[in-house]
Every structure is written in structure tokens, then in C-alpha cells.
Amino acid sequence: MVRICHYLLQMRFYSLAKHSSLNFQLLNALNSARAANNISLFCPRYISLAQIKYHIPPRSTKIKKQPVSSVIKKQPVSSVMFQDRFFKYLRENNKFFAVTPITSDDSVKKLMLTEIKEVSSTELPVFISTAIVNGKLTETLKARLDEECLSRLSSFTTDDVLKVVDAWLYIVPHILNNLKFYHEAMPLFDRILSSNDTSLPAFVQTFYYVSLCKDKNLARDIIRKALDKLQSSHSLMRALSLDELVIISVSIFRTSNTISSRALLRTISDGIMTNLQRLMKDDASLVTLIKPLRPAEFYDLKLLDAIAANLSLLKTKSFITKIQVFALFGQSLYPDKDFLQKFADDIGHSLLHLLENKETMDIRIKDVSRFFWSLSFLNVIPQVENLDKEVMEKIEDWILDNQFNESNLHWLISMMCSIFIFNWDYEQLFRRVFDSFSAHQLNVPNHSANFRNLNLLIAGLRIEAPYLVSEDLTSILRPTIAPTAVNHLRTRPVLKDAYKTAWSLTKDHNVTDILCHFNIPHVLILGLTFYTPKRNLLNIEVLDRSNCLLTSNIPHGLMSLKLRLLKQLHEHILIIDSTRLSKDNNFRIMFEKKIREVDGVD
């Protein structure tokens, strides 16, 4: 962590330390070093040089009372350490030398606003970074500095604009989106990212600064173009250090972009593999690197095996961190059921501890939903006593406390789907939900995942617990756009062979009404259905890589739900395990035997 702190701040990435998921660990590392007077850990001999060269003393800890409306408070976090390392970077890289040094905070106070224009562009970052008087930035000075930066924007070089943004982030990180200068600089950032003359450090730095923009559509578009450039350049990808990959990853995730280049995904995966021992002690960086792999559906079994083998080294008790790592195994359908059960139990115990100790501030709705989604996808249920009861009570509390609205109701539906797949005693919770929200509210508009989950939930309940489903709920069911059977069969050769065999039985055995279809509504797993000679319905289900954990015959959560619902319908099922079939396996003999069994014929 010390090394990452050194890199990020040496490269002027103050904002990452204060904004990203690395926040607490970075600041804790800095504070710990400072508390131990271990200044030389980061910048040996430079603190005194910085203070002599630029005459900038440590900030006063005494804060004068001022009207709240007229000041912007700076976050009291290791300001001297950040400041000294900022100057250390500039000196070591020969990027900046003060022509007219600002001698003290008093000089800033005494400097007339009209004299700001006299500060050169090279001095401006230092002036901005010292603009806080006794821990506060006056609104008047902030507005004047913003105007000055804006007026100079057209003449700024790449280095100028990046140094100025750094200086603002150093003062008050959360103020950036309130600056006219920052928003007007977006076209310049776009040009910097598009230019072939931009250095790698400037590219990475600008990439991150754009991701901080609250205009998400604008930030997403600019990052998308820059990401396309990065993905098209193997030399640029290979040049990225692990720390730069962390910065790129958090920016991509923050702007809801998705990596399409297998080469870049492989670069991230290889970076994790190569530095796994270190990352297990730096879980924030590990999680940041993992995040873009999931939306891209990038599965590397060797990487998963390595993480699983080293999981005991993960130096965190964070419920959120564990969930993020578990989600990677979930989406990848990792096949080691024993490992998954142990990991799920560990996270389940962490969640139960938070619930029982009423540490509700440490539990976010989306984290529980993400954890449950991963569990249900893998068909792994934590073996933790009372977890089901505590979680469902917590969800009811969230409902009673009005914690759900249109923006997050999809998390509630997702949790309900997972609980339904777990087959917990869900009746009380589901009644609470259906009494608290109308069918119209639950059918969140323009949210495809919620649409699929709600359809699945209602369709499943109509089979297993029809008394919970009102006419209003039934009325919002809509056809799911499913892949055609022909396209589905192309990826499932065993099912295709079984389908052909079923047709061959039509003449000799009077098998009729053969269907290759999605036989449970809204469960998009293809199966076969036909009537035996005595008109008994027989379902043929094939376990293969489309509905099982990777390289295994273990059904994933949705397949397990399908088999459960078929049993609820009291229909006959023949399950074919594709991993145990020999090359000369005869489906005809298998079907004939099952037909005789179903029809009661010896």
C-alpha cells in the first residue's frame, strides 16, 4: 500500500486517493506514516527542501469561525504530506519552478483579487494549492480563481491544465464539479486523450479526471473514445503499470463503460496474476481490477484458481470487498463447490454479524442484492444459522423505512428472485412486498434486468405459490425475447442429438407432440417435451456447459430452479448428464427405458 501511495501521489493523482475505492487505505497509510514521523518513507529530505524553496509552512490546525455560507471546508486529511509530495513530483520531473514564490498563507490573504491576474500560469497551480486560509477556502476567492482558470483555458498547455486540476483537487476534492473551468475543460480533455502526442502519464491522468465528471453521459462518451484508442494500441496496453491499470479500471467502471478488447482484459488478468500476493494485501486495488472483468464476461479459470488458492491471504474483513471478489466467481460459474460453500459461509457470517449487531450503516441494499445474485447464480446457499430470518427481516425493515423507490426497486426484485431460488421460507416477505408496492411500481420502466427478474419471479410463483400472485401481477407478465430453438441447439450438441432421437421414436413407439422449447416460462433453458404412448408427459433435460458450473455437471441456480419447478408440476423428468456420455451412447435405449418406466410397462 505504501508503494501505491507513493506512485499515485508522485504521479499527481491526488484525486484517486481521495475519491476512489482506494480512499481509506491510501489515507490510512499516509496518516500512519505521518503519525510515526516516518516522513522519509515517501520523500526523504524533500519536506525541508519544499518548505525552504517555496516557503509553504504546514497548515494551521486552528480554524477561525466564519459564516458557513461563505467558506468551503477542506477535508482535514494529511494536507502537508499531499502537498510535499506534489512539489516533490514537480521538482523531480523538472516540470515547475517558482518564479515568484508565495511566501506564506498570509500572502494569499493579503493578495488582492485583482492581482490574481499577475500570477503566471506556471505559478497558478501553487497559488491555487495554497489558497486555503486556516483550513478554509472563501467562496469569493474560489469564484475568482475559477474565473481566472477559465479565462486562461484556451492558452493552457496539457501540463498546465493537468497541474491546475491537480491543485483544485488538492484543495477540496468534491468541489471539482462546481467549477466552470472544469466543465469547460472537457473538450480539451477529449483532445488530450485523442492526441497521439500525449504521454502515457498525461493520458492516464486525464482519463481519470474525466471520470470524475457528474455529467455521466459526457464522461462516458469521452472515456469510450479514449478506451477505443487504448484498446487499439497493444504497445500502449503493454506500457501500463499495475498502478495505471488500477486507475484505468476505476475510471472505466465509474463511467459505466465496458472493455471489449480481449487483449486489454488479458492485460488486467495477467496483472492480477503477476501481482497476486501484493494485491491480497491491497484489497481495494484487487477489487478495482476485478470490476471491469465482470461486465465484459471475461472468465479466466487459471486466475480464479489462483485467487481461490490465495484467498486466505486476503487481508480484509470488509463485507463489501468479499462480495466483489465472490461476484467474480459467481459470474464465472466457478466449479469448485467446496471452495464456494466455504467462501459463501464466511461472507454469510460477516453479514449475520452486521445484522445482529445492528450495524446497518455498513450494509447497503445493492451489496446484499449482488451477494444474493452471485449465490443464486452458483446455486450455493450459506449454511449459516438464522441468516435467512435476519436478512428477510432486514429487507422488511428497509420497506417499512421507505428505503426503496423507483431508482432501486430493481435491487429488491433481484433479492426476491434469489430468495426464491434459495427456496427459503419467503411467504411473509413476499406478502409484505406485494402489499407495499403495486404491480405498476414493481415493473420498473426501462430496466431490462428488472423486467426479466420480475417475469421469472411471477412465473415461478404461479407454479409454486399461486396464492401469492394477484391478477395485477399476472397482468404485467410480458413475453420474454428468447433465442430461437435452432440457434440454441447449435451450442448444445447433446440436446440436439437427443432431439433427433426423440423424433426417431415417433413411428415405432407412438411418441407424439415432440417439442424443443423453453418449457418453464421465462426460464431460458431449452428442454425437450413429448407424450409417451400412454399420454404421460416426459421432459428431457440435458446438463451441459450452458446450464452447469464451468467444466462440471453441477447445475447452476437457474437450472436447479427449473428442475424444482418441473417437479412441482408433477411431470416426469429424464436428466441426461452430458459429461458422462460415451461416444457410442445410445439415446434410443435410454429413452425407451424411461418411457417404459413412466408408462408402467415391464
Question: What confidence tens digit (pLDDT) does each residue in 281-293 have?
Answer: 888 889 999 999 9
In a domain, 202, yes or no: yes
On whether both 391 and 437 belong to a single domain, the answer is yes
The whole-number pLDDT of residue 129 equals: 77
On whether both 134 and 33 belong to a single domain, the answer is yes
SS3 513: strand
In a domain, 424, yes or no: yes
On whether both 431 and 538 belong to a single domain, the answer is no
First to last CA, the chain: 71
Residue 120: pLDDT band with limits 50, 70, 90: confident
Contacts of 171 (CB under 8 A, 6+ apart): 74, 128, 129, 131, 132, 137
On whether both 21 and 112 belong to a single domain, the answer is yes
On whether both 430 and 556 belong to a single domain, the answer is no
> How many residues in total does the chain contain?
602
In a domain, 180, yes or no: no
Report the number of distinct structural domains present in the chain.
4
> Is the pLDDT confidence value at 11 over 70?
no
**Could you tell me which residue, 417 or 145, shows the higher pLDDT?**
417
**Could you tell me which residue, 57 or 243, shows the higher pLDDT?**
243
On whether both 71 and 191 belong to a single domain, the answer is no
The whole-number pLDDT of residue 309 equals: 94
* Cell numbers found for residue 442: 414493481
C-alpha 376/C-alpha 459 separation (Å) is: 17
On whether both 429 and 403 belong to a single domain, the answer is yes
H or E segment and range at residue 413: helix 409-422
**CB count in 10 Å sphere of residue 52:** 9
In a domain, 178, yes or no: no
The whole-number pLDDT of residue 523 equals: 94
The whole-number pLDDT of residue 47 equals: 22
C-alpha 62/C-alpha 135 separation (Å) is: 8
On whether both 5 and 131 belong to a single domain, the answer is yes
Q: 81-106: per-residue pLDDT in tens? A: 333 433 344 434 444 333 333 444 44
User: Domain boundary residue among 475, 508, 538?
Assistant: 475
In a domain, 345, yes or no: no
Q: 497-532: per-residue pLDDT in tens? A: 999 999 988 877 788 889 999 999 999 999 999 999
C-alpha 288/C-alpha 285 separation (Å) is: 5
Residue 38: pLDDT band with limits 50, 70, 90: very low
Q: 147-178: per-residue pLDDT in tens? A: 999 999 999 999 899 989 988 887 777 788 99
Residue 54 domain boundaries: 1-146
**How large is the average pLDDT for residues 335-349?**
96
On whether both 17 and 120 belong to a single domain, the answer is yes
User: Domain boundary residue among 288, 310, 332?
Assistant: 310
In a domain, 214, yes or no: yes
On whether both 141 and 190 belong to a single domain, the answer is no
The whole-number pLDDT of residue 588 equals: 87
SS3 600: coil
On whether both 462 and 491 belong to a single domain, the answer is no
In a domain, 328, yes or no: no
The whole-number pLDDT of residue 128 equals: 82
Q: What is the mean pLDDT of the chain?
A: 81
The whole-number pLDDT of residue 583 equals: 63
Contacts of 514 (CB under 8 A, 6+ apart): 499, 502, 503, 506, 528, 529, 530
Q: What is the pTM of this model?
A: 0.79
On whether both 190 and 134 belong to a single domain, the answer is no
* Distances in whole angstroms, Cα of residue 140 to Cα of each of 48, 72, 120, 304, 570: 32, 10, 20, 53, 75
Beta bridge partners of 529: 515, 539
> Is the pLDDT confidence value at 539 over 90?
yes
In a domain, 170, yes or no: no
The whole-number pLDDT of residue 601 equals: 81
User: Domain boundary residue among 251, 277, 310?
Assistant: 310
